[in-house]
Amino acid sequence: MDHSSEASSHAGQSPLSGDESSKLTDLPQWRALEAHYQAIKGLTLRGLFDSDPGRAARFTARGAGLFFDYSKNRITPETMRLLLDLARVRGVEKRRDAMFRGERINDTEGRPALHVALRAKKGHKIEVDGRDVVSSVHEVLERMAAFADRVRSGTWTGFTGKRIRTVINIGIGGSYLGPEMAYQALRSFADPLLSVRFIANVDGEEFRAATDGLDPAETLFIICSKTFTTQETMVNARTARQWCVGALGSDAVASHFVAVSTNGAEVARFGIDPDHMFVFWDWVGGRYSLGSAVGLSTMIAIGSEHFSEMLAGFRAMDEHFCQAPPESNMPMLMGLLTVWYNNFFRAETQAILPYSKALARLPAYLEQLQMESNGKHVTLAGRPVTYQTGPIIWGEPGVDAQHSFYQLFHQGTKLVPCDLIGFCRSDAKLPVHHDLLMVNLFAQAEALAFGQSAATLAEEGVPPVQIPFRVCDGNRPSNVILGERLTPCSLGALIALYEHSVFTQGVVWGIDSFDQWGVELGKVLARRISAEIQDADTVVSHDSSTQALIAQYRLWRSPKGEA
Ligand code: F6P
């Protein structure tokens, strides 16, 4: 495929094609940012706030029910003007519109990236190869809703007629992280009589723990895999079938297994009735698939109406991304700030810190979303990038993390831009707890920005000998994202905010944010070594280290220490 012509056609006048894409750093807009960085890198957040009483109002944006405060970033109005210039010249808006039209912006796989179609309103039209995809999306959503309603109401029963009490989603990566994150986030909306568990890791301990104490007659498995060939998922799926068949007989499979996939042939080969399969499409990337049938376990847990509300939240942020002017467009601003720290301050990482225990799995979800999307080393033209692409994303719920790694944020030598995420109302009905939680969010954002000076410490009577150790320099940047309450709708908006921020970054860097060729190599090598592990007579030929590791494994894997 001629990627350069594809890229140029999508990006209109933006210089994303051919040789030009590797020249990001030669653009006048990039150079202007470099010069600007040199000029302002010494400014402090303390000084910036002191000199501009309107700073908080200037650097906040709202959309889709979320409030985005980015005033505690090391930026001036000029920084934002230059970053927005860069976005314009790189064609962020044009490529966004191309994505929403269903153009094949996933260049290297020759596909559209149409997760936005998953939450488009019924009746809206987006065509791929001349066929409307939104109507197919709604057909599947209706089938999912009918099935979820049957499981929730007990009219779908297990083989022996017992009601389903546990749903186990078997899937990995994008076929797991979204559903697990959403289930935890929305537990207060879930049916308490129906629990959802997840098996992603092929470690047998995970299977054992997930099925521990369960009655197979009351357990429904969702085998969730876009390809239906992922080794870990298929091994777990076969073990689940044995577990079920061992207890209930082979006729029970039809009542206890459904599939979510794009691969009907493999689903049928596994033995799942096509009537019990929920499709999605190759234009939905795994890490963007929560709004598709991949979210079936979430829908069973929270019900189809709440699931629709989550899609409405996604849609509200999609609309904001399409309609808000760049100066107040939250995903664009957020994506550009990531570029600012990544490429000019050369920050290597970015921390995600939800002040909400229900969002405990959000960092893991965003690790995949951002790093699988933007961990790329070539441009759309297939040329090596000459600049840094996606940062390392990591995090933990705030408060817990305050008592572990925040020390490095406050006094370490590394710059870690932080996203602090919180909600103003809690469903826990323990307001004292919630106030303290949010107090910590505000205090941390303040401490990161303004620190604690030697003069203040001296005024407080701290012994001089201790002062150097207690000084916190501040000037640590953070975004604060606030929602009113964690609901299906606000969760959808929050996820879409990050999706479109990732998109904005990818367009600036001129990379394909929708492929993931890098993970393929490990899969291929794992298949090869799988065969070698099984049979001691198989000749193993790898590098000396891998060879020695396999030999040691063979030696220790049998109880008698025999190879
Ligand atoms: O981890 C790599 C990956 O390809 C992800 O992109 C994907 O979400 C995951 O594997 C699972 O793939 P599948 O849904 O096809 O089993």
Dihedral sign, Cα of residue 388, residue 392, residue 393, residue 398: negative
67 HSE (CA, 13 A, CB side): 11
511-556, pLDDT tens digit by residue? Answer: 999 999 999 888 888 888 888 887 767 777 889 999 899 889 988 9
Instruction: Kindly indicate the confidence band of residue 560, based on its pLDDT and cuts at 50, 70 and 90.
Output: low
316 and 344 co-located in one domain: yes
Residue 14: the pLDDT is: 38
pLDDT per residue as tens digits for the range 262-274: 999 999 999 999 9
Report pLDDT for 10: 37
Same domain, 314 and 198: no
- Residue 310: what pLDDT? 99
User: Could you give the residue ranges of the DSSP H alpha helices within 154-262?
Assistant: 177-185, 204-211, 231-248, 253-256
What's the CATH number where 544 sits? 1.10.1390
Q: Looking at residue 520, what is its pLDDT?
A: 87
Domain check: are 536 and 395 in the same one? no
What's the token pair of residue 22?
A: 């590797």
Tell me which of 124-133, 470-479, 486-495, 542-551 is least confident: 542-551
Looking at the structure, tell me whether residues 289 and 331 fall in a common domain.
no
Q: What is the CATH number of the domain that holds 210?
A: 3.40.50.10490
Q: Does one domain contain both 275 and 351?
A: no
Residue 19 confidence (pLDDT): 44
Contacts of 501 (CB under 8 A, 6+ apart): 331, 332, 334, 335, 338
Distance in angstroms (rounded) separating the CA atoms of residues 228 and 225: 5
Which of 180-184, 228-232, 332-336, 524-528 is predicted least confidently? 524-528
Tell me if 19 is assigned to some domain: no
| H or E element at residue 481 | strand 478-485
Q: Look at residue 477 and tell me if it is in a domain.
A: yes
Tell me how far the alpha carbon of residue 500 lies from the centroid of ligand 1, in angstroms: 20
- The answer to whether residue 18 scores a pLDDT higher than 60 is no
Co-location of 259 and 312 in the same domain: no
pLDDT tens per residue, range 277-318? 999 999 999 999 999 999 999 999 999 999 999 999 999 999
Give the pLDDT of residue 297.
98
Write the CB contacts of 362 (distance below 8 Å, at least 6 apart in sequence): 181, 185, 352, 354, 395, 421, 494
| Cα–Cα distance list, 394 to 96, 300, 340, 371, 405 (Å) | 26, 29, 18, 10, 11
The pLDDT of residue 20 is above 90: no
Residue 54 has pLDDT above 50, yes or no: yes
Position 95 in a domain: no
Measured from CB, residues less than 6 Å from any atom of ligand 1 are 171-175, 225-227, 230, 233, 286-287, 372, 516, 519
Same domain, 400 and 456: yes
Whether 523 is catalytic is: yes
Boundary-marking domain end, from 302, 328, 347: 302
pLDDT value, residue 551: 86
Question: How much is the average pLDDT of 379-406?
Answer: 96
Evaluate whether residue 16 is within a structural domain. Answer: no
Query: What is the domain count for the chain?
Result: 3
Q: Same domain for 218 and 367?
A: no
CA of 413 to the centre of ligand 1 (A): 36
Task: Tell whether 110 is covered by a domain.
Answer: no
pLDDT band at 220 (very low <50, low <70, confident <90, very high): very high
Q: What is the pLDDT of residue 1?
A: 28
CA-closest residue to ligand 1 atom 5: 173
pLDDT band at 175 (very low <50, low <70, confident <90, very high): very high
Report residue 9 CA to chain centroid gap: 28
Indicate which residue of 93, 180, 309, 372 is catalytic. Answer: 372
Where in the sequence is the domain holding 476, given as residue range(s)?
Answer: 24-90+307-509
Q: Are residues 454 and 370 in the same domain?
A: yes
Residues 503 and 527 in one domain: no
Which position among 139, 377, 523, 562 bears the catalytic label? Answer: 523
pTM for the structure as a whole: 0.95
Mean pLDDT (whole number) for 368-376: 98
Predicted confidence at residue 536, as pLDDT, reads: 67
Q: Which atom of ligand 1 is nearest to the CA of 175?
A: 14
pLDDT score, position 86: 98
**Ligand 1 atom 8: residue of nearest CA:** 174
**Which atom of ligand 1 approaches the CA of 516 most closely?**
6
Mean pLDDT calculated for residue range 104-123: 97
Task: Confirm if 418 and 403 have CB atoms less than 8 A apart.
Answer: no
Nearest atom of ligand 1 to the alpha carbon of 172 = 11
pLDDT on residue 524:
86
Residues 525 and 543 in one domain: yes
Average pLDDT over residues 90-96: 98
- Cα separation, 283 vs 211, in Å, equals 33
CA of 1 to the centre of ligand 1 (A): 24
d(CA 259, CA 319): 31
| Residue among 172, 374, 517 to mutate when testing ligand 1 (max atoms within 8 A of CB) | 172
pLDDT of residue 527: 85
What mean pLDDT comes out for the span 343-368?
98
Least confident range of 8-22, 109-123, 134-148, 193-207: 8-22
- In this prediction, residues 13-39 reach a mean pLDDT of 77
Same domain, 202 and 243: yes
Answer with the residue of higher pLDDT: 169 or 3: 169
Which residue in the list 403, 429, 459, 560 is annotated as catalytic? 403
6 occurs within a structural domain: no
Domain boundary among 286, 302, 318: 302
**Annotated catalytic, 403?**
yes
Domain-terminating residue out of 302, 337, 360: 302
Show the tokens assigned to 126. 């987006």
Any domain includes 13: no
393 assigned to some structural domain: yes
- Output the CA 229–ligand 1 centroid distance in Å: 9
Q: Which two tokens stand for residue 69?
A: 């405060």
**Mean model confidence pLDDT for the chain:** 94
Q: What average pLDDT does this structure show over 214-238? A: 97
